């Protein structure tokens, strides 16, 4: 009986203290594409589903790769669409413990324009 009173008291304190709220606030995503920054420095761009969950899903995945022209040594960044790899992935499940930040990709950004261009073309 004493344990039951203690548990009820503890539950009442947790409900009264805002810091005890176990519900994670929902992530609001208002753009079509998002930039997902991982703790290893990688950045993936795509349509994020289930943000705030343990394994959010990223569709239409793109990433930037640096390419160097061997003759001119000119370095340029190229946006690549995932799916051209041997296993042809069309989506990614991400471990939320490795997500550092999620940012919107605005429609008029260079990344959004490059994604739109790549989606209009077959994978290379």
- pLDDT tens-place string over residues 75-89: 998 898 988 778 888
Band of residue 14 on the pLDDT scale cut at 50, 70, 90: low
User: pTM here?
Assistant: 0.72
Domains delineated in the chain: 23-119 (2.30.30.100)
Question: Measured between alpha carbons, how far is 59 from 74 in angstroms, rounded to an integer?
Answer: 31
Q: Which residue has the higher pLDDT, 88 or 102?
A: 102
Q: Which residue has the higher pLDDT, 102 or 120?
A: 102
The predicted structure's pLDDT at residue 124: 43
Do 48 and 67 form a contact (C-beta atoms < 8 A)? no
- What are the E-state strand segments in the chain? 33-38, 43-49, 57-68, 75-81, 91-93, 99-105
Handedness of CA 84, 85, 88, 91 (dihedral sign): negative
């Amino acid at each position: 009986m004493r344990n039951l009173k203690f548990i009820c008291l503890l539950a009442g304190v947790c409900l009264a203290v805002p810091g005890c709220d176990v519900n994670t606030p929902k992530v609001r995503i208002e753009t079509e594409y998002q930039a997902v920054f991982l703790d290893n420095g990688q950045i993936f761009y795509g349509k994020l589903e289930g943000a705030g969950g343990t394994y959010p899903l990223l569709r239409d995945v793109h990433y930037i790769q640096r390419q160097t022209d061997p003759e001119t040594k000119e370095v340029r960044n190229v946006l690549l669409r995932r799916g051209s790899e041997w296993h042809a992935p069309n989506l990614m499940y991400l471990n939320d413990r490795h997500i550092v930040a999620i940012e919107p990709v605005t429609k008029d950004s260079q990344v959004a324009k490059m994604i739109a261009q790549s989606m209009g073309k077959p994978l290379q």
